[in-house]
């Protein structure tokens, strides 16, 4: 067996390294999800639990978009387009929640009384 053939047999390609990276990230996401589930049952103030859940969800979201949606390896322009869409979608959601909040869901008869 030649030297180049023996090194090629032991050399791991970039696909295998990405596969290992994806498995590691999937395991990390599973652990973060487990932490989120357990955090609900801790006797802390609701704002601490909600803040913890939001931070963990944002971390999970960033891992998914940058690795599983391949934004890490794409051009920066694609990431900018994704961020613009995310800001527009988040802004639309926020405005809709303000427009159709709980105070607007009461029947008209209860307001007139």
Paired tokens of 63: 């891992």
What's the pLDDT tens digit per position in 4-34?
555 555 556 666 787 898 899 999 999 999 9
pLDDT band at 56 (very low <50, low <70, confident <90, very high): very high
Whether the predicted model's global pTM rises above the 0.75 cut: no
What's the pLDDT tens digit per position in 67-106?
888 888 888 888 899 889 999 999 999 999 888 877 766 7
Helix ranges (DSSP H) in the chain: 3-10, 14-39, 46-63, 76-99, 108-112
């Amino acid at each position: 067996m030649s030297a180049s053939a023996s090194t090629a047999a032991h050399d791991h390609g970039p696909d295998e390294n990405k596969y290992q990276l994806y498995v590691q990230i999937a395991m990390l996401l599973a652990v973060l999800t487990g932490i989120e589930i357990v955090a609900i049952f801790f006797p802390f103030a609701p704002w601490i639990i909600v803040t913890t859940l939001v931070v963990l969800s944002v971390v999970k979201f960033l891992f998914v978009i940058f690795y599983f949606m391949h934004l890490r390896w794409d051009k920066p322009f694609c990431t900018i387009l994704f961020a613009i869409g995310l800001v527009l979608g988040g802004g639309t959601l926020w405005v809709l929640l303000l427009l159709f909040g709980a105070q607007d869901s009461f029947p008209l008869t209860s307001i007139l009384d």
